[in-house]
Structure 1
Amino acid sequence: MTKLFSLFLLIFLNGSLWAQDRLTGETFTTRSEILARNGMAATSQPLATQVALDILKKGGSAMDAAIAANAVLGLVEPASCGIGGDIFAIVWDAKEEKLYGFNGSGRAPKSLAIEYFMDRDMKYVPLYGPLPVSVPGCVDGWFVLHQKFGKLPMEELLQPAINYGREGFPVSEVIAYEMGYASEGMEDLPGFATTYLPNGRTPKKGEIFKNPDLANTYEMIAKKGRDAFYKGEIARTIDAFMKKHNGFLSYEDLASHRSNWVEPVSTSYRGYEVWELPPNGQGTAALQMLNILEGYDIASMGFGSTEYLHLITEAKKLAYEDRAKFYADPDFNQIPLTQLLSKEYAAKRRLLINPDKASDAFSAGDLEIETGNTTYLTVADKDGNMVSLIQSIYSEFASGMVPDGLGFVLQNRGQMFNVQDKNHANALEPGKRPFHTIIPAFITKDGKPLVSFGLMGGAVQPQGHAQIVVNLVDFGMNLQEAGDAPRMRHRGSSQPTGSVMTNGGTLNLESGFDYKNIRELREKGHRISFAVGIYGGYQAIGVDVENRVYTGASESRKDGQAAGY
C-alpha cells in the first residue's frame, strides 16, 4: 500500500484531517506553485490569464500578453480597472538585462484649481461625480509600452476583449460580489446604470454579462490608435459628457496627455534588490519599511509572531508619515528621495520604535529638500522578458461617470489631492499628477531577475509588498505560500492630504493569526480589528534563470489564475 493511498484511506475512514491539510508546504497555502518553461501569466481573472497565454503562444511578447490581458480585465473586472484609469509598469528587458520603469498616470484638469474647493469650504475632493476625474492614462500607456516592447499588432491584442464584450462572459464569483456591493448608491450617476446594471442590478455569479459599448470603443482604439482616445471621437465624447455634467476634464486635457519613462528605485534587503517606482506613487514606502526591518533578526521571530507583527506595524507607521509629507508629483516638487531610501535614515527612524509598546503617533522625518480597487498582472515570455503591471480606476467603480456610449467608467484619482493646504506637496494644481497608490514591484538577485510581483488594495500595497518580501526572504516561503499567508494592514488617520496619525490607528489582521499573539499585541497597546481575506489580489512570477523555469502564483483572495506552458 503506497503512502499516498494510506493517507487517502485515513481521510475516508475517520475524517480526521481537515480539507486544508496538504502533503507539502504550509497549512494556509491554497495550492502548489505553477511551473513552466516557455511562458507564464498570472492575473486576477482566468479569462485574462488564458488570453495572455494565447498571445504568448502566437509569438507575442510578454508586453503584448500583458496589454491583451489588461484589456480583458477592464471588461471582466470593471469595478477595479479599465481604460478610464491609469497604468504603471516595471519591465525586465532580457536582451539588455535592464529594468525599465513606466509611469502612465494622468493629470488634473487644467481648468481646475484648489481655489474651487477652498471657496466652497470643501475639505476633500468628493469620491464620486465629475470633480475627482483626472486624465485617463491607460490607453496611452498601452501604446507607449507596446511601441518599445511589443511584437504583434494592437488589433490582434485587443480582439479577445472585443469578442468577450460582444458575445458576453460568465461573471466570476469574487468579481460578482465586488460589482454588487460597489454599485450601491451609484444608480443615478450619469451612464452608470445603462452600462453596469442590466435588468436593474449588477450581474450575479455565472450570469452572462455583455458590454458592446466597450467592445466598440476597443475596436476604435485598435483600428485608429491612441489618438482615437486622446484626440479623436472618444476624446470629443468625453469632453461633451463632462461639460454636460459640470465637469472640468476637457478635450485639451486629453490631447496634451503624455506618459513618462522613469528610473525604478530600489533598496537592498539581505542581499536581494527590491525595486519600486518613484513618486508620485507610494512604492518608496515599501522600501522604507524594508530598510527599517532589515535591522532586526526577523527570521528568528517566526511568521505571525508578536514581535514581528509589532515591528512591521511600527515600521509602517514611520514610513507612512513620510509618505504623507513627501510623496507627490516630482514635476511640481523636489522630493528628498535619496535621503528617504538611505540606510542611515532608516537607522535613525528605527531608534524611534519601542519594542514593548505601540506608538500613538510619529512625525515625518525632518529632511532637507534635494535639488535636481486596482488590478495587478504579471507576464513572462520565452525570451526571458518579464512585465510587472498594475492598472486601476482607483476606488470601486471610480467616479461612477460613464461617458455616453463608451462602456467604461472614468477614474476618480483626483480624490487623492489635498485641497486644504496650498503648500502641501500633494496640493491640487492644474495639470498636476495626484499622489498614486498603485505600484508594481520586482526583485533581482546579483543583477538577474528573480520575482515580478504585486498586489491590489489602495494603501495596503506597500505594506503588502513588504510582507511578501519578508515572507520570501526571512521566512523561506515559496511564491504561492508568500501570497496565501495571512496579512496585516495598519490603518491610521495619516493620508496623502497631510494629516498626522493619532491614537495609534488600528491594526487589521486577517484570519489565520494565533490568538495568543493577538492578545500580546493588545497588551503592547495595539488596537486590533479582524478581517477575512480582503487584503488581496497578489500575483507573482518567479524565474530560475539557470534552468529557464518560471514559477507562477495567484492567491485565493481573488478569482485569479497563474498558468504557463
Structure 2
Amino acid sequence: MCVQIVLYDAYLLGLRITPCQFFHKLCILTIAHPNGGGYIMNRKQMITLLLLLSIFVGASADANDSQGQDPRSTNTPTQPAVGASGMVSTAHPLASQAGLDILAAGGNAFDAAVAVAAALNVAEPMMSGIGGYGVMLIYDSNKREVRFLDSSGRIPAALNPDVFRAPTPDYLEKRRGAKVVSTPGNVNAWEALSKNYGKLEWRRLFEPAIKLAGEGFIISEKTAAYIKSAFPAFPEYAKDIYGHSAEPLKAGERLVQKDLAGSLRMIADQGSGAVYGGKLGEAIDSTMRETGGFLTIDDLRRNRAEWWKPISIDYRGYKVITASAPTNAWNGLLRLGVMSRFDPIPLGHNSAGYLHRYAEVTKLAYGARLKYAGDPDISPPPLDRLLSKKYWAENAAKINSQRAMPFEAPKVFPGGGQNTTHFVVADRWGNVVCATQTLGNLFGSKVIVKGTGIWLNDSLSYSTFEPKGNPMDAFPGRRKLAGFCPVIIMRDGKPWVAIGTPGGHTIVQTVPQMIMNIIDFRMNIQHAIAAPRISFIEPDVISVEEGVPETVRKELSAMGHNIRIVPRIGNAHGLTIEYDSKGNAIRFTGGADPRGEGAATGN
C-alpha cells in the first residue's frame, strides 16, 4: 500500500503547519494495511521524516506565525500516491482508510464511496453527512458509461419564500437556522449507488464509520478551529458532544459521537428508510417543528435520488464530463471552452498573461451564470449555445489581452465558502466515483437533531431571494441549484482523470484551472492540485493565492485587476488511471490538496 500524506513534505513545500498538525499527519503513516502489517517506508523517506521532525520541533514558533490562517501553497508540491489496484482520495485520512478497507475486502469503487461518505460524516461532521446533499459522477466499467447521481433533493413543500424577502421583519435573520433547512438527499444517493452497482452487503459499508464514531478519534488543529468558530451557535446538546465544561474540544482531544454511531447503525440495519420516514425521519420532523423549520417528514418520504445524463465538451482532444443541471457545472465547461481559444503554453503557467485571460473568461462565464442558471424543469440553460465553439469564439474575442474589463456585480454576490467536501475512488475494474457533498455552511444550519448526532443543512441560504422570480429564487418543490463540478476526463474511451473540489462559488473556477494544469501543462495529479489558483469571488476583485509570485500580482494590478491575496482556494482531490494494451486498469495515482489535511491512498 502506498500512502500519500500531503503534509509529509510540508517543509519542503514551504507550507506553514504547526507541530501538532505535523504529528497528526505523521501518525497516519503507521496505519495498518488491511491485509496485515504496516506501511513500510524506504530509507530515504525515513531520513526525510527524521529531519522534518527535528525541523518542526525547532521551528514551532515560526510555524505558529500564520495567526490561524490556512496553510498556503507556494513551491513544488509532492508527488502523487501510487496504487496498483485502486485509489481513494478524501479530505480526511481516516475516511480514505475506510474506503481502502472496503476495496481490500473485495468491494468496488461504489461500495468504497458509500463507506467514504459515511466516514466523512464522522471525521468531518462540519462539512457533510446524513443531513446534507450533493452530487456523484460515476463511471460504470461494465456498461462503459458515465452517469450523474443528484442527491440535492427538493425544496420543502411548506416553504414560504416571502419570509426571506425584504422588508419582512427579521428577514435576514431568517436566512439562517431552521428555516433554511431543505430536504437532505445523501443517504438516498448512497443506497441508490449500492443497490445499482455495489458488490458488498450494505451493512458492511458502514462498519468503519460506526466504529470511528463510537470509539472516537483525535482531532487536528484544523478541526478544532472549525468547532471553536461555530461553538457559540451550537445548542446545548451539540456542545456536550463537541466540548466539555462549556468549552469546545481542543486539538489533540478525542471526539466521540455515540449518537451518530447509533444513527449510522440504524441506517446500516434498515436502509435509507430510517431517514426517509423511519425513526430518524421522525426525529428530524420533530426537530423542525420545535425550531420553526419548513421541512416535514412528508418531504423526506417524497425524496428520491435522481439519475441524470451528464454533459461534456471536447477539450484539446479529451472528453471532459461533468454533472448537468440543476448544478451549474456547465459554467466550468464554458470557462474551459473559451480558454480553448487561446494557446496557454507560450504565455506560461500562472503568468500574468495567462491569469489575466482566465480572470476575464471567468467574468464572462459568471455573467452567463447570472443570466441562465436555473431549474432545468422550468428554465433550462441553453447549453447547445453556451457550449458551442461559436459562442466560445465570440466571448474570447471580447477579451483585451492587455486590459481588464469592468464587471458590474450583482447586489448580492455569492460567497466562496470552503465548507464542503470532495472525494474520488477508483477500483481495479476501472469503476470510478467522483463526489461532492455538503451541509452548506459550516455545520450547516447549526440545527442538530437531538439524540441522533445528525446536523441539518442550510441549503436555502444559498438562494437569491431578490428580485422575486429570479433564476436562483426558491419556491416549494423546486430542485435546489448548486455550484458543484465533479469531473471525469475520458481518454481513448476510458476514464483517465477524476477530480473536483469544494469552495462554493469558486468551485467552477478552480476545477478548470486544475484541468488545464493536467492537459495543457502536463502536470501530474498532485502538481495540478497543489498549484496556486485565482478566483473571482467578490465584486470586481480577483482573489489570488499567496503562491502566485508578487511580480505576477503587480502585473495583474497594472492591467486593471483589483487583487486580493488569500491563503487558500478550495480543497481538491483527484486521481488518474493508466491501462495496459488490453484496456485493464494497472496503475493509479492520487492527489490530495495541501490546503487541507486529506490523504490519497492506493493499494
Would you say same fold, with TM above 0.5?
yes
2:589 is matched by which residue type in structure 1?
A: T
Note the C-alpha offset of 1:529: 1.0
Secondary structure of the 1:131 match is: helix
| Structure-2 change in CA distance of 1:185 and 1:323 (3 Å) | farther
Match of 1:548 among 586, 589, 596: 586
Tell me the SS of whatever aligns to 2:454: coil
Q: Deviations over 1:216-263 (max 9, x none)?
A: 100111111111101111111111111111111101111111111011
2:219 to 150, 165, 171: 171
Alignment of 1:179-218 (within 5 A): 179-181=227-229, 183-187=230-234, 189=235, 191-218=237-264
Given the alignment of the two structures, is residue 151 of structure 1 paired with residue 199 of structure 2, yes or no? yes
Task: Say whether the 8 Å CA contact 1:125–1:419 is kept in structure 2.
Answer: no
* C-alpha spacing 1:190/1:120, structure 2 compared with 1 (3 Å): farther
Q: Which residue of 2 aligns with 1:370?
A: none
For 1:493-504, list aligned pairs within 5 A.
493=539
Partners of 1:332 and 1:432 within 8 A in 2: no
Aligned to 2:102: 55
The residue number in structure 1 matching 2:571 is 537
Among 102, 115, 124, the alignment partner of 2:162 is 115
Residue from 539, 561, 564 that aligns with 2:599: 561
Give the partner amino acid of 2:547: G
Residues of 2 paired with 1:35 and 1:117: CA distance?
49
Residue identity opposite 2:369 in structure 1:
R
Deviation at 1:471, TM superposition (A): 0.6
The answer to whether the Cα contact below 8 Å between 1:168 and 1:209 also exists between their aligned partners in 2 is yes
1:246 aligns with 2:305: no
Matches within 5 A, 1:442-457: 442-457=488-503
Instruction: Between 214-223 and 122-131, report the one with greater CA deviation.
Output: 122-131
Distance in 1 between residues matched to 2:483 and 2:231, nearest whole Å: 24
Kindly report which structure 2 residues correspond to 1:226-241, keeping only aligned pairs within 5 A, or say none. 226-241=272-287
Amino acid at match of 2:555: E
For the residue of structure 2 that corresponds to 1:402, the secondary structure is strand
Match of 2:562 in 1: 527
Q: TM-score, normalised by structure 2?
A: 0.83
Which residue number corresponds to residue 15 of structure 2?
A: none
Instruction: Return the offset for 1:417.
Output: 1.8
Q: CA deviation at 1:340?
A: 1.4
Aligned partner of 1:100 in structure 2 is 147
Q: Is 1:421–2:467 an aligned residue pair?
A: yes
Deviation, 1:123, is: 6.6
Which residue identity does 1:564 align to in structure 2?
A: G
In the alignment, the residues of structure 1 paired with residue 575 and residue 439 of structure 2 have an alpha-carbon distance, to the nearest angstrom, of: 24
How many angstroms does 1:124 deviate by?
5.8
How many angstroms does 1:178 deviate by?
2.6
2:317 matched to which residue of 1? 271
TM-score (norm 1): 0.89
Matched, 1:487 2:533: yes
CA separation in 2, counterparts of 1:331 and 1:190? 41
Partner SS, residue 352 of structure 1: coil
1:471 aligns with 2:517: yes
Identify the residue that residue 130 of structure 1 maps to in structure 2: 178
8 A contact 2:274–2:281 mirrored in 1: yes
Q: CA-to-partner distance for each residue in 1:14-65, whole Å, 9 max, x for gaps?
A: x9xxx9xxxxxx9823321111111111111111111111100111110111
Report the more deviating stretch, 115-124 or 88-97.
115-124
In the TM superposition, what is the alpha-carbon distance from 1:421 to its structure 2 partner?
2.7
**Runs of 5+ consecutive residues of structure 1 not aligned to the other structure:** 20-25, 365-372, 494-504
Instruction: State whether structure 2 residue 514 is matched by structure 1 residue 514.
Output: no
Distance 1:522 1:249, change over 3 A: same
The letter of the residue matching 2:222 is V
Distance 1:349 1:191 in 2: 53
Q: Report percent identity of matched pairs.
A: 33
Structure 1's 126 and 529: CA in aligned 2 closer, same or farther, altered over 3 A? farther
Q: Distance in 1 between matches of 2:169 and 2:398?
A: 37
| 8 Å Cα contact 1:140-1:258 kept in structure 2 | yes
AA aligned opposite 1:285: N
Contact 1:190 1:401 in 2 (8 A): no
Cα separation, 2, equivalents of 1:413 and 1:295:
36
CA contact (8 A) 2:536 2:543 kept: yes
CA distance in 2, matches of 1:54, 1:309: 41
Find the residue that maps to 2:275 and give its secondary structure.
Answer: helix
Q: How does 1:61-76 map to 2 (within 5 A)?
A: 61-76=108-123
Corresponding residue for 1:221? 267
The structural deviation recorded for 1:526 is: 0.7
Structure with more helix by fraction: 2
Give the Cα separation in 2 of the matches to 1:108 and 1:93.
30
Alignment partners' CA distance in 1, 2:446 and 2:526? 35
Residue 383 of structure 1 aligns to a residue in which SS? coil
